[in-house]
Structure 1
């Protein structure tokens, strides 16, 4: 198919308001900053759909960016789907008192179901594979209801730990995971910014990814607080924060607390307090936590502290109404349900580092690294990795094609062994000494205690330990030459898979950003904030740039930086580093483009 250049983004085929291109750029920057911090495999994509509220004029549906109009057939189904959802909505049976309230609540219900219909239509679209969509409440701009759409990788999204219990009769919004709370906070923030008169030019209040994550964690903790009693909603989270900061006679801030309904049938009280005290009496609670340990916990309903007790073996995890809080030191605590950590709070922010391996993500990486690898082989390597991940010590597994020759090459830096198929007991034994275990994709071991070689490169992380950095150095020096996967288990329980594969993208993402830079390159069109945000987006995509694109961007950057410095509006400027191509980049990182007429 021949692509016809439309003139976008200087000329808009679908005009909703003057600054819509810049608003979308800003939304992309925020989304990538937030969701890449949670999980790099989420691969956030942002676009907007505008629906005419006047049922006249042209066009009735707008898309930003305009090349998303290939979704036209999917969006055509939304009206009928929304009517179906609305016909089944139990809120239709609600009657509201007060002048005009019935009409107002009906309008809210219809708009909600239209939004949900967009989500479903996009989720079911044949245009997407393994994607999940979330749509913000619409904001009206010049006769269009503008819906902001957040698209994430479904496998990566579902790899996060979720609660499952939802009460359809409950009116209060509950968040079932940190990632769900984060996407809601993001969309609410963007909807708020979309209300600004010149959204896209007017910046509004800026919230960085750290602040958004803290708000997401707080909202998730509200859900946990509700399991005790409704008035504990806003008490439980502040109590956890305050107690984790409160020391008792210079001892470590440790302890164990259970939140559940008062007199819960699956809680056994061992030592009851005569006069239960409020959870807001933080020093008193801190003192009580000193008595916990060996399975004994402080029992609370989020409102009052009732004494010491423990969870019975009769508890059914599907009920999701008993949660455990483990205080891990100064300003650190974990929320646990059914022996699974659902939230780790560290110094006021959620620590979203994956402690264990998600099987689906692991399999996707394995198939990209090892051409032709079978499901049985993936299971072999995954199971071996999980065995190591569950040990209380650091270790490393190197899975490499031609493992026999690699063990021979490293013979002075490892203990070679006769090829042997690993099982759990043998792997635990081999990993008990320092160094890596070298295996092939079939789970056959060839060496133990391997000290990996390599030349220090560019990808190390000074905040991480020697085991992680030696794996990075080895892969940078030798791993890219042949299919190699390294699983690193750190002493603190973190699990890393090396290489961290970059997600696949459409090459048109790069060309669009370059086109916008070109459009800013005159004194009349230069816009500083947009320039900086485009450079931010390109910096996040620097891995994908070809040599020609690097040269083009560097020339444009120099020209735009000169415009920035000579505008006369500012006395300080940002100087951006030149872009250079990455030697690991190849066309396999590009997705197939949508065909255009």
Structure 2
């Protein structure tokens, strides 16, 4: 077997290490609900006493990040080290004084690498996040995550704030930042192990665990922002616990306003004589019950001070001095700064704020499923979907091209009505009773409270309720075109058949072309992306992808190289050009 020669060699498992961290980054982004589009690279700066021939090493060494980016890296490291803030710092213990030079060098490498990547970031419209530096043999190594700025356009972070000498800072700017720095923390821990990247299974936390760590870290941001003296607490777990508690059979619904209680932006309606400790969840839940529409409970990072609200004239987002935790339903809450939602948590699972479905994808799928419906009909159904999701109880709406005849056939299992265009007010009334609301594609309602029929399919599952399974049976066993919108009691929303996102035609072609020129060292990125987007690959591209996979399968591999064969691509019969953009 042919072995792989690493020209920019730092250690023997640098390739598998990078691939493993990159896979973790993608899993984290997917679980958060963000596009899984990010790159990972390693940069190694030669230690001062080394005789290694390469001053700087980059992994991967395929030219995507040319060495020219780091031509002056070692000089920058030495200059940063010489002027480092810790140079004049004296510690009272000998161990810290002994470790101080190493701390300064690690930080100098990280700062210099971050500065060296600024030009690349600007030219490629990405943001580079650098992990802590560790020394491996002859090199000081940092792990770098690069994420497209388009991700931050889709999920805007809080504006940057000047730290002004504050040691604690103001916290992470977004859940994405917090989660990716949690990944970098795992990457740094792995660098401290012998032969990092050799044993990847179980060596770092799972994506779900990393996200929870990131969410906990991000929830320090309100406390750090609203006062100069912040006492660290686990606000993420505290909010989850309060959201999970019932009060005399009622769910947690209301606002908790995180703000400096002495701030002029707060208008108290009732102030407690003695503050309520925020770490007493049952007490907090009891107080939350008093918060009605238009007011909330006013708290900082430690106590609740009373009932009140923010003044209408105050711009909390611009000032970043007030945050609102809104309890939406049982075990369901979100954190806002002004009108911007920063994080949502449902049953303890943190997510980025977003609609369950993309509007453009919904309208495209609706037009494809019901070609006789007008664009206005699709927009009308979209608005009804949003209203249906906002209600505090479960419901189901079925759109069927044979709605008129189905209303007649199922009339004994519900209530037929004169054809009436469904409005939000009617939807509110009709969804108060059991059964399904039956519509035609133009939004005209023909029956309410309908009990659906249909035979069980492979997609029915005992893990979901009767509403979901009846929607599956009714839609999938019919030759007529139908669509079901199912909102379960736990606020889970499903559209049957499922809505597929639109995908860029040029991006598919880009990854197909990349795979055609790939080697065993760099095939992973394109192969993984195409594997996740099989539905969108056309017949001609399937042939090219399969030819590339055959070529990779036949390549000689060094002993011990992990290589996973890929199932061959076939055209999905439901795929057509309407799923593609540009």
- TM-score (norm. length: structure 1): 0.64
1:260 offset after TM fit, Å? 0.9
CA distance in 2, matches of 1:375, 1:118: 42
Q: Name 1:244's counterpart in structure 2.
A: 242
Q: Name 1:211's counterpart in structure 2.
A: 209
1:489 offset after TM fit, Å? 3.0
CA distance in 1, matches of 2:67, 2:380: 46
1:201 offset after TM fit, Å? 0.8
1:230 offset after TM fit, Å? 3.4
Q: Name 1:43's counterpart in structure 2.
A: 36
Q: Name 1:226's counterpart in structure 2.
A: 224
1:468 offset after TM fit, Å? 3.2
Q: 1:426 to 1:475 in 2, by over 3 A?
A: same
Which of 389, 408, 412 is the matching residue for 2:409?
Answer: 412
CA contact (8 A) 1:468 1:490 kept: yes
CA distance in 2, matches of 1:406, 1:37: 37
Q: Name 1:31's counterpart in structure 2.
A: 25
Q: Name 1:464's counterpart in structure 2.
A: 464
Q: 1:463 to 1:317 in 2, by over 3 A?
A: farther
1:312 offset after TM fit, Å? 3.4
What pairs up with 1:82-231 in 2 under 5 angstroms? Answer: 98=88, 108-123=110-125, 136=131, 142-143=138-139, 145=141, 147-151=143-147, 154=150, 158-160=153-155, 162-164=157-159, 166-167=161-162, 169=164, 172=169, 174-203=171-200, 205-231=203-229
Q: Name 1:129's counterpart in structure 2.
A: none
SS at match of 2:308: strand
What pairs up with 1:488-527 in 2 under 5 angstroms? Answer: 488-497=486-495, 498-501=497-500, 506=511
1:257 offset after TM fit, Å? 3.5
CA contact (8 A) 1:325 1:335 kept: yes
SS at match of 2:220: helix
Q: 1:316 to 1:582 in 2, by over 3 A?
A: same
Q: How many pairs align?
A: 517
Q: 1:306 to 1:77 in 2, by over 3 A?
A: same
1:113 offset after TM fit, Å? 2.2
CA distance in 1, matches of 2:129, 2:472: 35
Q: 1:513 to 1:213 in 2, by over 3 A?
A: farther
Structure 2, unaligned stretches of length 5 or more? 90-100, 554-558
Q: 1:343 to 1:357 in 2, by over 3 A?
A: same
Q: 1:476 to 1:541 in 2, by over 3 A?
A: farther
Structure 1, unaligned stretches of length 5 or more? 1-6, 87-91, 125-131, 520-532, 557-562, 565-575, 593-597
CA contact (8 A) 1:335 1:342 kept: yes
- TM-score (norm. length: structure 2): 0.65
CA contact (8 A) 1:232 1:301 kept: no
Question: What do you get for the CA RMSD once the two structures are aligned?
Answer: 5.8
Q: Name 1:559's counterpart in structure 2.
A: none
What pairs up with 1:96-495 in 2 under 5 angstroms? Answer: 98=88, 108-123=110-125, 136=131, 142-143=138-139, 145=141, 147-151=143-147, 154=150, 158-160=153-155, 162-164=157-159, 166-167=161-162, 169=164, 172=169, 174-203=171-200, 205-235=203-233, 237=235, 240=238, 244=242, 254=252, 257-276=256-275, 279-280=278-279, 288-289=287-288, 291-293=290-292, 297-318=296-317, 319-325=319-325, 334-338=334-338, 342-345=342-345, 349-352=348-351, 356-357=355-356, 361-364=358-361, 366-367=363-364, 379-396=379-396, 404=401, 408=405, 412-413=409-410, 424=424, 434-438=435-439, 440=441, 444-445=443-444, 449=448, 455-473=455-473, 477=477, 486-495=484-493
Q: 1:269 to 1:228 in 2, by over 3 A?
A: same
1:263 offset after TM fit, Å? 1.9
CA contact (8 A) 2:384 2:424 kept: yes
CA contact (8 A) 2:436 2:451 kept: yes
CA contact (8 A) 1:51 1:61 kept: yes
Which of 11, 26, 39 is the matching residue for 1:17?
Answer: 11
1:388 offset after TM fit, Å? 2.9
1:144-182 CA deviation, whole Å, 9 max, x = no partner?
A: 855443547945x65447544634535625223333322
SS at match of 1:262: coil
Residues 234-243 or 212-221, more deviating: 234-243
Residues 270-279 or 259-268, more deviating: 270-279
CA contact (8 A) 1:270 1:309 kept: yes
1:352 offset after TM fit, Å? 2.6
1:43 offset after TM fit, Å? 2.5
CA distance in 2, matches of 1:333, 1:317: 19
CA distance in 2, matches of 1:380, 1:37: 30
1:501-554 CA deviation, whole Å, 9 max, x = no partner?
A: 3786646899999969xx9xxxxxxxxxxxxx99xx8998596798998xx99x
CA distance in 2, matches of 1:388, 1:286: 27
CA contact (8 A) 2:407 2:447 kept: no
1:234 offset after TM fit, Å? 0.7
CA distance in 1, matches of 2:58, 2:224: 41
Q: 1:102 to 1:477 in 2, by over 3 A?
A: same
CA distance in 1, matches of 2:359, 2:240: 38
